[in-house]
């Protein structure tokens, strides 16, 4: 059986998909994900990749591998060029001699050498893979992918991906990338004030609480969903999350009480929804011009 491996290498999550093909048909398909902070141990990436692959392929040598990445944005690298090259070198070290194809923002696959020569062509290209898949199945629609760190908002019209931006900078400007997610986003990036005791209170800009705390308090995620470290290194239960959220207003859980903290959480969630809605409105407002040019 022919085995093909697909990688999505992020700054904190590394995902892998295995396809088993026989006579051109997929017989097996499995996926897995592992938490790995590349900025803490970038030299460990190669061994991580090898271990993740060997746990599934059971001695079968992969026929080919494909990769997309976002880890090149990590501040462990001085430039995206350095990050792209390091990630590809790590793959080639882990799997010498296996053909490697790198997915690009224009929807094509390029060689490792081409990717290193033009790193912006392959940096943070995973959104395009998702968009092309949906465009092949749905003629028109809007892709919204809310992740742990970011949200992608990609319009699809008449079977075409109508993204205005290609790289992260362009996508942030276009509203197609909102740096807001359900786990990692610091509360101070979502709000400048929260309601406390019937009045609005300014928040501290310290790294006291994150969006994961908000959603665990509200019961919208489970402790097993809270896959990133907590800001204080303590528990991921609602009680511990309330303690962290109370610190955002330089208080504690004893001072505020659970009801007051829960109201803060509701307010913060609503503000995050508003942030993403603003980005969505920006993307939708550009669609009319895109539709006219498409016609």
- Flag whether 119 is in a domain: yes
Kindly state whether residues 36 and 160 are assigned to the same domain.
no
**To which H or E segment does residue 293 belong?**
helix 287-294
The per-residue pLDDT for 28 is 87
The per-residue pLDDT for 290 is 61
Structure token pair of residue 164: 């205005």
Segments of the chain with pLDDT less than 70: 58-59, 289-295
Owning domain of residue 24: 2-124
Torsion (CA) 141, 277, 176, 77 in degrees, nearest 10: -140
pTM: 0.89
- Flag whether 173 is in a domain: yes
The per-residue pLDDT for 54 is 86
Kindly state whether residues 146 and 286 are assigned to the same domain.
yes
Kindly state whether residues 114 and 152 are assigned to the same domain.
no
Spatial CA neighbour of 90 closest among 151, 144, 136, 46: 46
DSSP 183: S
Residue labelled with tokens 């923002």: 105
DSSP 204: P
The per-residue pLDDT for 295 is 55
The per-residue pLDDT for 61 is 83
- Give the integer Cα–Cα distance in Å for 229 and 61: 35
Kindly state whether residues 195 and 167 are assigned to the same domain.
yes
Spatial CA neighbour of 103 closest among 76, 133, 79, 74: 133
Kindly state whether residues 292 and 147 are assigned to the same domain.
yes
Structure token pair of residue 98: 């296996």
Residue labelled with tokens 């470290």: 229
Kindly state whether residues 144 and 225 are assigned to the same domain.
yes
| 214 close to 244: Cβ distance less than 8 angstroms | no
Handedness of CA 142, 144, 145, 151 (dihedral sign): positive
Number of structural domains the chain divides into: 2
The per-residue pLDDT for 294 is 53
Give, in order, the Cα–Cα distances in Å from 218 to each of 204, 211, 255, 267: 21, 11, 20, 11
Kindly state whether residues 171 and 109 are assigned to the same domain.
no
The per-residue pLDDT for 291 is 58
Spatial CA neighbour of 190 closest among 272, 83, 273, 263: 272
Kindly state whether residues 82 and 211 are assigned to the same domain.
no
- Give the integer Cα–Cα distance in Å for 34 and 137: 29
The predicted-structure confidence for 229-250, as pLDDT tens digits, reads as follows 999 999 999 999 999 999 999 9
- Flag whether 267 is in a domain: yes
- Flag whether 135 is in a domain: no
The CATH number linked to 262 is: 3.30.420.190
- Rounded to the nearest 5°, which phi and psi values hold at 144? -125, 115
- Flag whether 93 is in a domain: yes
The per-residue pLDDT for 292 is 54
């Amino acid at each position: 059986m022919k085995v093909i491996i697909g990688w999505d290498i992020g700054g904190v999550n590394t995902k892998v998909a295995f396809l088993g093909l026989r006579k051109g048909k997929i017989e097996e398909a499995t996926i897995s994900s592992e938490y790995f902070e590349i900025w803490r141990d970038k030299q460990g990436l190669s061994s991580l990749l090898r271990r993740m692959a060997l746990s599934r392929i059971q001695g079968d040598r992969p026929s080919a591998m494909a990769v997309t990445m976002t880890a090149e944005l990590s501040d462990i690298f001085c430039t995206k060029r350095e990050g792209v090259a390091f990630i590809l070198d790590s793959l080639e070290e882990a799997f010498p001699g296996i053909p490697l194809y790198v997915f690009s923002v224009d929807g094509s696959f390029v060689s490792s050498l081409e990717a290193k020569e033009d790193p912006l062509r392959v940096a943070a290209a995973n959104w395009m893979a998702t968009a092309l898949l949906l465009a092949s199945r749905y003629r028109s629609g809007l892709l919204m992918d809310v992740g742990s760190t970011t949200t992608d908002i990609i319009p699809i019209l008449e079977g075409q991906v109508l993204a205005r931006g290609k790289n992260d900078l362009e996508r942030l400007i276009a509203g197609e990338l909102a740096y807001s997610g359900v786990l990692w986003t610091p509360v101070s990036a979502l709000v400048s004030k929260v309601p406390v005791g019937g009045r609005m209170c300014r928040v501290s800009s310290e790294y006291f609480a994150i969006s994961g705390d908000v959603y665990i308090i509200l019961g919208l995620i489970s402790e097993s969903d809270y896959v990133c470290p907590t800001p204080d290194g303590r528990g991921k239960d609602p009680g511990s999350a309330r303690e962290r959220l109370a610190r955002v207003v330089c208080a504690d859980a004893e001072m505020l009480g659970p009801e007051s903290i829960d109201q803060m959480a509701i307010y913060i969630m609503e503000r995050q929804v508003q942030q993403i809605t603003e980005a969505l409105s920006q993307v939708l407002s550009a669609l009319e011009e895109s539709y006219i040019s498409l016609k």
